[in-house]
Structure 1
Amino acid sequence: MGSTDKVTVRDVMSTPLETISKGATIREAAQQMREKDISALVVETTPRAIISSTDVLDAVASGRDISKLTVADVMTTNVETATPNLYMEEVAAMMTSYGIKHLPVVDGDYVGMISSTDVMAYLS
């Protein structure tokens, strides 16, 4: 793409969106992320939430009994989101500002996910 082309989230986001229920086990979440080769899942709940590989690692590293934990126990709530028409530069700034690696993309409802990996691929 030429330097004057403005790339939006819509151009780069991952679809279809991978989701999981808040009652699923941590093991199920980890297995789904591994099978799909992704590092975050949107949790089917209100308010919006995600579970990331970092959330799973934190649960394991903290010594908690992961056999008894559900997605709801470790998910990240109050999730920042992006809209499909945001420019990649704006998304990169949001991720840096909030210290996050994933942004669910919302256009009324969830429509995709953009990750720091997507941003790095765009910038390279």
Structure 2
Amino acid sequence: MDDLQVEDVMTASVASISGEATLSEAAGTMHDRGIGSLVVPGAETGILTSTDVLGAVAEGRDPERTTVADLMTSPVESISVGLRLEEVAAMMTSYDIDHLPVRDADGDYVGVVSATDLRETIAR
């Protein structure tokens, strides 16, 4: 794992959603695309994860009235494509998060790396 970097294991696409979307819409998008997080682009950049959705449901929030902006984590921690996986694991542990958006040198989102991506890489 010493030689592996983010770009070797990340999902090379970024699913995004508006902060104005409902929790129900966000959950549907995650389900349809088989993903565990959505990036909220724009001035109030954030991230919504499946864990956020489950937490909201457990709290009894109405998925039709709760917006993504109500639940998203913002500001969002992000990483660069060249970061070593050990550094990614340390960040996830330090910040207690399971998903990190990946940005290129221009600051554009180019992917997402998840704790699942890291576990699958370690298991190989």
What TM-score, normalized to structure 2?
Answer: 0.91
1:20 alignment partner, SS class: coil
Task: Please identify, of 96-105 and 5-14, the stretch whose mean Cα deviation from structure 2 is larger.
Answer: 5-14
Aligned pair 1:9/2:6, yes or no? Answer: yes
* Pairwise CA distance, 1:39: 0.7
Matched to 1:21, the amino acid is: S
Q: What does residue range 1-124 of structure 1 map to in structure 2 within 5 Å?
A: 6-107=3-104, 108-124=107-123
Percent identical residues:
51
The residue identity in structure 2 corresponding to 1:83 is S
Q: What TM-score, normalized to structure 1?
A: 0.91
Following superposition, the deviation at residue 97 of structure 1 comes to 1.2
Q: Unaligned regions of 5+ residues in structure 2, if any? A: none
Q: What is the aligned-residue RMSD (CA, Å)?
A: 1.3
Alpha-carbon distance between aligned partners in 2 of 1:17 and 1:94, rounded to the nearest angstrom: 20
Q: Distance in 2 between matches of 1:59 and 1:45?
A: 23
Out of 111-120 and 66-75, give the one that drifted further.
66-75
Deviation, 1:15, is 1.7
Q: Secondary structure in 2 aligned to 1:95?
A: helix
Summarize deviations over 1:41-93 as a string: whole Å, max 9, x none. Answer: 10123242001111111111111222211111111112111100001111011
Report runs of 4+ in structure 1 exceeding 4 Å deviation: none
Amino acid of the residue matched to residue 104 of structure 1? P
- Residue 114 of structure 1 and its aligned partner are, at CA, apart by 0.2
Contact 1:22-1:45 at 8 Å conserved across structures: no
The Cα shift of 1:110 comes to 0.7
